[in-house]
Structure 1
Amino acid sequence: MAYDFDLFVIGGGSGGVRCARIAATHGATVGIAEERFWGGTCVNVGCVPKKIMVNAAEYGQWTEDAAAFGWNVERKGFDLAALAAARDAEVARLNGIYGRLLTGAGCTIFEARATFLDAHTLDVGGKRVTAERIVIAVGGRAVPPPIPGAELGMLSDDVFRLKQVPRRLIVVGSGYIGLEFACIFRGLGAEVDLVYRADLPLRGFDADIRTALKEALDAQGLRQHVGHHPARLDRQGDHLRLSLLGGEAIEADAVLFATGREPHIQGLGLDRAGVMCTAKGAVEVDEEHRTTAPNIYAIGDVTDKLNLTPMATAVGHALADTLFGGTPRKADYHNVPTAVFTSPPIGTVGMTEADAAAQGPVDIYLTRFTPMRHTISGRPGRKTLMKLVVCQRTRKVLGAHMLGEDAAEIMQGIGIAVAAGLTKEDFDRTIGIHPTAAEEFVTLRTRTREAGVRAAAE
């Protein structure tokens, strides 16, 4: 039968836009629908506006440090309205670029909700549309914890609607979203309480990084309540009261719940298309990102595989090349560099020490130092930690981890080396750039310890 489109993409975030645009450049007729905003979470209520707020918090610290470098800087306070205006203008600019990229490539765009009627048919804003292939790229959404009074708190989207910086803020959760906003608002002058259930923040990251981060958070005055679960949230007059399991309670002007996200599949009509979901509510896909319906694919956070914007973009591009470009390929989910924009920031790529040691013996190279900026400024807690995890048998660098100034920028280059399978000796013979923190990655010579020997013996 004849279809309206060769490909229809549901969702105008980074992954969906890339998939649609590349498919169109390959000659496919492409439709794409977005019901909220072009660019998705990352551009509008995620990575981009958050990083602008990270920069704002850093400026506050730099003005404090300036005197140590000879500058007489007078601080007159922080204006959230001014930051919000600049931030929102940049978001609007990028939002428009995404739309122009699509129309420029020849895509037909629909600013409407799309839902399945069957495996080849969609209702798009009340219009019936058919497509030979369909890609689900609707992303995820933040969800509150299942406790009484949770509706009184904020989710991550709500942060960008704040009119002023809360004097006292409670952040519940120690994933990257919770930690980043805790550091942002501490840097903007708020008193911050951080509540999380583990012993260390940032579950899933390397243990040395997690330990160093906990110390850094303490040093900047964040009050950490570890091993605690929220029980209920109540309003008491002009403030909120968060009760924790066990009896402790904390009061604040605002509470941010950063305890999880879920695939945004509600109301899509997946059952009408024969698309199945996992037990956790993610769209089930195979290695080709094909769902249980042969002509329907899913990419990005809705699959809950690796919830990073660049990963969704890479998968969307690879899928378009495979379906319409005559060059079948897959995006590689291994050795994906990532960053957490805490204060100080984190950059990491490859395996943690624990994961690598579970596969066999590894050598650990680790250094910790105060970077040059802060030997002068004297700012407490701004230590840098850098770590390499090296396979004893092959000498390949299996993982690289850093907490410290410019970690994200540095890790992008180190990520190339780890993804390429370079060895410790390749790192050693690379000349360092002096004076930088980054040079430490190529001057580590003394092994700190070995791990995984027992696993190898067994």
Structure 2
Amino acid sequence: MAASFQSSQTVAVLGGGPGGYEAALAAAQLGAEVTLIERAAIGGAAVITDVVPSKSLIATADAAVAIRQAEELGVQLFARGGGGAPLRPEVAINLAAVNHRLLALARQQSDDQRASLVEAGVRIVSGHGRLAGPREVVVSTSEGGTDFEHVEADTLVVAVGASPRELASARPDGDRILTWTQLYDMTSLPEHLIVVGSGVTGAEFAGAYMNLGAAVTLVSSRDQVLPGEDSDAAVVLENVFRRGGMRVLSRTRAESVVNTGDGVVVTLSDGRTVEGSHCLMAVGSIPNTRGIGLEQAGVQLTDSGHIQVNRVARTSVPNVYAAGDCTDFVPLASVAAMQGRTAVFHALGDIVIPLERRRITANIFTSPEIASVGFSEQDVVDGRADGVVYKLPLAANARAKMMRITDGFVKVIARTGSGTVIGAVIVAPRASELIYPLAIAIERRLTVDQVSRVFAVFPSLTGSITDATRAMHIVNRDG
């Protein structure tokens, strides 16, 4: 099918992150002549400074916690001291070694992706690209901007990503005031890390550094961490944070951050100040769309600078598509990749299924993880969805007891009457893996009864999914 499809068209892809990478591979698969322009490294920020290194850091932090908590499972670590007396060793974090490994993994992933593109026949041009029109990209291939290459194509895919948002009163300096792209230059664990911003990025890094052993203060402008996410999940995570020793400051903003030379001082909107050794600014991101000729080519942008796209990733210019965090769609690496493939399928005349927000699975890599898909409980409360909500604490699960998992739950949302699964939230270790069967249920419009009839291994954490859906059969019958 796709393998036998042959296209005589030319495709130019601007940006080699998840969206651009998948767009280029898909176009090559369909027989197009493909050129990919990337200014840094294949994989983009997702591979080099964001998803790959950050999730690797979190995996290291989880390992540290597992060692510290092993005694609760009856596993005790001791060393022999003088006279043969047992000594309890401490868990030490060599952050320089950790960061070296993370960056090496990122480089390896980037190299692997470049090799895949080359093998597929994609031509890669290194440099800064900008649109000279809806069918041409001009690439500056030298640092001084004196050498240029013109790339013409029938279809353009813009996948230039986004960069950390900066505040004028808290400019990152790469020393004490940092963005999430600068954390990996640290050679020792920060004595006291102040994290400004309690969204996904802020929560993930705050939890990771807490679990690595740093003192952490999290500054949140909202009533809860992870604003906009499931409120029950946010409560669980905030309880875990506080229990781990994190200081969570809610309903206040950081007005300014100053590097004092040997630390930082964060001034809050309520007049208080917080002193620490380092500050991570996690206050969102801005699209990398300025100065690359989009407006001149007729591509419509939002007020925030994001590229407006429809459900097949098409822009206001018929032959120009866009994918990833530079668009006004969902800012997830998995979504960027799907947008890239969808854009090319649509442009080259292959079968395409428009993207649907309600079928997108998302995960927050805190500890425990928070995975979600479909409608939320708040959608039901606000009347955007007619549904029944059931929440089952994970502590009731036999496998969870064996693993000493005490925090988390499985929440399923089913349509009233039919029982069709329309939403789900899982808070658990590896929730990113556990959510998949419920994502399939939403994609295939399965009912809670159909899900409940699937055999789950006993004991297993997935058993909580069948337990929850079985319980909803009673709710539906009685309701």
TM over 0.5: yes
Q: Is the 8 A contact 1:432 1:443 kept in 2?
A: no
Q: Using the TM superposition, give the Cα deviation of residue 343 of structure 1 relative to its aligned residue in structure 2, in angstroms.
A: 1.4
Instruction: Measure, in 1, the Cα distance between the counterparts of 2:461 and 2:124.
Output: 46
Kindly indicate whether residue 391 of structure 2 is the aligned counterpart of residue 366 of structure 1. yes
Q: Using the TM superposition, give the Cα deviation of residue 237 of structure 1 relative to its aligned residue in structure 2, in angstroms.
A: 4.4
Kindly indicate whether residue 260 of structure 2 is the aligned counterpart of residue 245 of structure 1. no
Distance change in 2, residues 1:245/1:23 (3 Å)? same
Structure 1: gaps of 5 or more residues: 451-458
Kindly indicate whether residue 126 of structure 2 is the aligned counterpart of residue 111 of structure 1. yes
The equivalences for 1:346-385 within 5 A come to 346-357=370-381, 358-359=383-384, 361-370=386-395, 382-385=406-409
The equivalences for 1:273-288 within 5 A come to 273-288=297-312
Aligned to 1:135: 157
1:54 to 58, 61, 64: 58
Pairwise CA RMSD? 2.4
2:166 to 144, 147, 153: 144
Distance change in 2, residues 1:197/1:131 (3 Å)? same
Secondary structure of residue in 2 paired with 1:198? coil
The equivalences for 1:55-94 within 5 A come to 55-73=59-77, 74-94=89-109
What TM-score, normalized to structure 2? 0.87
The equivalences for 1:132-281 within 5 A come to 132-147=154-169, 151=173, 153-281=177-305
Secondary structure of residue in 2 paired with 1:388? strand
Distance change in 2, residues 1:373/1:216 (3 Å)? farther
The 10-residue stretch of structure 1 (412-421 or 258-267) with the greater mean CA deviation from structure 2: 412-421
Report % sequence identity. Answer: 27
What TM-score, normalized to structure 1? 0.91
Q: Is the 8 A contact 2:311 2:355 kept in 1?
A: no
Q: Using the TM superposition, give the Cα deviation of residue 430 of structure 1 relative to its aligned residue in structure 2, in angstroms.
A: 2.5
Q: Is the 8 A contact 1:68 1:377 kept in 2?
A: no
Q: Is the 8 A contact 1:5 1:31 kept in 2?
A: no
Instruction: Measure, in 1, the Cα distance between the counterparts of 2:464 and 2:237.
Output: 19
The 10-residue stretch of structure 1 (99-108 or 65-74) with the greater mean CA deviation from structure 2: 65-74
Structure 2: gaps of 5 or more residues: 1-7, 78-88, 141-147
2:116 to 80, 97, 101: 101
Deviations 1:303-322 (A, max 9, x none): 13111111111121122222
Instruction: Measure, in 2, the Cα distance between the counterparts of 1:328 and 1:307.
Output: 21
Instruction: Measure, in 2, the Cα distance between the counterparts of 1:212 and 1:328.
Output: 39
Kindly indicate whether residue 46 of structure 2 is the aligned counterpart of residue 42 of structure 1. yes
Instruction: Measure, in 2, the Cα distance between the counterparts of 1:40 and 1:260.
Output: 17
Q: Is the 8 A contact 1:170 1:193 kept in 2?
A: yes
Aligned to 1:12: 16
Count, aligned residues: 446
Secondary structure of residue in 1 paired with 2:10? strand
4+ runs deviating over 4 angstroms: 148-152, 371-379, 445-450
Distance change in 2, residues 1:376/1:8 (3 Å)? closer
Letter in 2 for 1:336: I
Secondary structure of residue in 2 paired with 1:302? coil
